Structure 1
Amino acid sequence: MIDNNFNFKEIHCGSLIKQGVLEKNIELGSICAFFKCEKEEVYSMYEKETLNTEIILQWSKLLEYNFFRIYSEHLILYSPQTRVNTKSQGKGTAKKKNWAYRKNIYTKGMIDFILEILDKGEKNNLQITQEYGIPKSTLNKWRDKYPNGKK
């Protein structure tokens, strides 16, 4: 449904759904029957950048594709690291602020996406590290584990 050149930073849900409908070759009448709506409402959904989660869920079922995965991968790539405050341990003690590094679970699709960007020379390790927050050591491990990006 999405290709390796997909921009996870800017997600237009309606156009992704329209693309899925075209790929699956689903007739407009079937879609209208599924949603119990008129064709104008379907066209309206295609134009919207965001949709209600219930609507996205229904489209996911109809097109047999998890559209929420796109948002999950966006979070993996673009969510900031969070700060956690430790509780003070007594009277007069200042609170310490520690960085809590999130443990990312990268999907194989995300790993392939990043490795392809690196292999094509579109970005270097430093750019990937800065833009997506992926540690340099993680990139090196991926390159060792997936030397051709196909395993």
Structure 2
Amino acid sequence: MLYKEIHIGSFIKERVDENEITMERICKFLDKDEDAVEGMYNSRSLDADLLLRWSKLLEYDFFRLYSSHLILYAPPAAANKNQQKSDKIPYFRKNIYTQEIKEFIMKRILSGDMTQSDVIKEYSIPKSTLHRWLQKSDING
């Protein structure tokens, strides 16, 4: 599954190939040698600053892969009223589903890989939200 296991190096290599970016340009932009770049292609994870540079070079938000993983696989946060929130870091609503997430879920249902009940249990997507997506896909499909 696309978002369950993330091997960031593979995704980067695929994007490099799609865009036909030369190794020379990559090395110059990242200030790394070819061996270091090849090592990154084989890496499951990368430092955030390095991933940001890759995202800029390849004009692709690699962080979205991780955000999608969190939306699909992280358990919902318990509502703790005593928990203090800092004004120094931003907080994001977890229940915002990207179009990629919606399409991923819809493909799983339409292909028969998962039932609606399976999706609700596995990804903690509210039943009403899933039904809204299904209705829209029927109208547009």
Give the TM-score of the pair, scaled to structure 2: 0.86
Distance 1:35 1:12 in 2: 20
2:99 to 108, 114, 120: 108
Offset, 1:15: 0.8
* 1:28 counterpart (23, 35, 41): 23
Q: Residue 65 of structure 2 is aligned with which of 61, 67, 70?
A: 70
Closer, same or farther: CA 136–17 of 1 in aligned 2, 3 Å: same
Larger radius of gyration: 1
Distance between the aligned counterparts of 1:36 and 1:7, measured in 2?
30
Correspondences of 1:1-150 after superposition (within 5 Å): 6-86=1-81, 104-147=95-138
Q: Secondary structure at the match of 1:84?
A: coil
Aligned pairs, number: 131
Question: Hey, which bits of structure 1, 4+ residues long, moved more than 3 A?
Answer: none
Q: Percent identity?
A: 44
Whole-angstrom CA distance in 1 between matches of 2:62 and 2:81? 37
Gaps of at least 5 residues in structure 1 are 1-5, 88-101
Larger helix proportion of the pair: 2
Counterpart amino acid of residue 102 in structure 2: I
In the TM superposition, residue 148 of structure 1 has moved relative to its aligned partner by 6.3
Distance 1:86 1:57 in 2: 34
The superposition leaves residues 74-129 of structure 1 with CA deviations (integer Å, 9 ceiling, x where unpaired) of 11111111223446xxxxxxxxxxxxxx7601111111111111111111011111
Alpha-carbon RMSD across the aligned residues, in angstroms, is 1.7
Question: Structure 2, unaligned stretches of length 5 or more?
Answer: 83-92
Q: Quick one: distance in 2 between partners of 1:132 and 1:63?
A: 30
